[in-house]
Amino acid sequence: MTFREFQKQQFGYDCITTFWEDFAIADRFGLNAVKDTFKRAFSEWKTNYKYLTELVIVLNHRCWMHHGKGNMALSKLYADLDYEADGYAKETLQGEEAEYYFKITD
């Protein structure tokens, strides 16, 4: 099952970005590639609350995926990036944007 199919089946959520695929490619090139992919995605899309929401979802899922596979270095990196993006969302989103974020990520 793909990530998109999983999100749709488990949560009724339709993915709107290629973040999952982008990070899957970065994983193959190591920690620095993941950091660079995050830096680019976050700086480009942090003002779009729907994209920011999906970025947090992807980071969280990849953290747990790598943890389950025993890849603690990637798991920790994804956890750190998730914490950064989630913190930003919680500090900046307001009103309907915050409601959307918490509804989708809860």
Distance in angstroms (rounded) separating the CA atoms of residues 86 and 90:
6
pLDDT (0 to 100) of residue 66: 97
Question: How sure is the predictor about 1, in pLDDT bands with cuts at 50, 70 and 90?
Answer: confident
pLDDT (0 to 100) of residue 106: 86
Mean pLDDT of the chain: 96
Neighbours of 40 (CB within 10 A): 12
Question: How sure is the predictor about 97, in pLDDT bands with cuts at 50, 70 and 90?
Answer: very high
Domain extent listing, the chain? 3-105
pLDDT (0 to 100) of residue 34: 98
pLDDT above 90 for 14: yes
Sequence length of the chain is: 106
User: C-alpha dihedral over 16, 12, 77, 90, to 10 degrees?
Assistant: 80
